[in-house]
């Protein structure tokens, strides 16, 4: 069907008789309370804004991972792990600021995946750091290119 053959958006696709239209009640307007309750998910939390206690819940695991990576691969990797995992852990405490920064810098925001790939490889595999870095670059460079291309396409 070509664009000129389509009905105008205000024209209904199915015509109903006036008597049926009059007998059909109008849908009830959603109250603010029901809209708010629809956003609440698992554990009674609105997951679009993570609760502050989530960062505290993640803290022991982040400290453990940072200590293990420091022990296994040295101080430089431990510092990287502390910065990356610490940022993710404390993000719920500063959610409004992080959200504003993320909206202002979407490309940098999506590139946080690259150090996470490196840290996951360094922790989970017996490979050398050079091999972990090579695999991270092989994954990260295409990821960065796609992220930048999508960003440019959306703003073109």
pTM beyond 0.75: no
pLDDT tens profile 7-55: 555 555 555 555 555 555 555 555 555 555 556 666 677 767 777 787 7
Question: Where along the chain do its domains lie?
Answer: 36-104, 105-156
Give the pair of three-digit tokens for residue 39.
């956003």
Burial per residue of 108-129, b for 16 or more beta-carbon CB atoms within 10 angstroms, e otherwise? eebeeebbebbbebbbeeeeeb
Q: How many CA atoms lie within 13 A of 109 on its CB side?
A: 12
């Amino acid at each position: 069907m070509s664009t000129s053959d389509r009905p105008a958006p205000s024209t209904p696709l199915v015509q109903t008789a006036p008597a049926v239209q009059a007998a059909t009640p109008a849908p009830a307007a959603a109250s603010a309370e029901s809209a708010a309750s629809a956003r609440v998910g698992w554990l009674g939390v609105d997951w679009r804004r993570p609760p502050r206690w989530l960062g505290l819940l993640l803290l022991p695991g982040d400290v453990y991972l940072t200590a293990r990576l420091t022990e296994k691969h040295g101080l430089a990797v431990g510092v990287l792990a502390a910065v990356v995992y610490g940022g993710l852990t404390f993000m719920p405490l500063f959610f409004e600021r992080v959200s504003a920064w993320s909206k202002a810098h979407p490309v940098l925001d999506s590139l946080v995946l690259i150090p996470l790939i490196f840290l996951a490889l360094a922790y989970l595999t017996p490979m050398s750091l050079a091999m972990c870095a090579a695999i991270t670059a092989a994954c990260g460079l295409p990821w960065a290119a796609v992220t930048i291309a999508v960003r440019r396409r959306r703003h073109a």
